Amino acid sequence: MTTIASLRAFIDSANLPETFTSFIEEEEGQSTVEYLLLISVIIIAVVAAAYIFMPTFQKGVEVVAKDVSSILDSGKIGKTGTNR
């Protein structure tokens, strides 16, 4: 006998209130919990990746900031542009 069949047999024999039986038989809550668990695992993975790659990302941002600063100061990108 499957778990669902044995659960339904228990519900039928226990004379439980209708709201409780509909709560047990309803499967929409199960899929909602599964989606929430999936989302939480994805969030944990993103936070872990951010923690691991944060120093590399900071160095990259610093390099880009230096390049933008030098471009704004000189008016040139590489050897192209006019002197200020």
For the chain, the domains span 3-81
> Does the structure show a pLDDT above 60 at 34?
yes
pLDDT greater than 80 at residue 11: no
How large is the average pLDDT for residues 39-64?
92
Answer whether 83's CB lies under 8 Å from 75's CB: yes
pTM metric for this prediction? 0.41
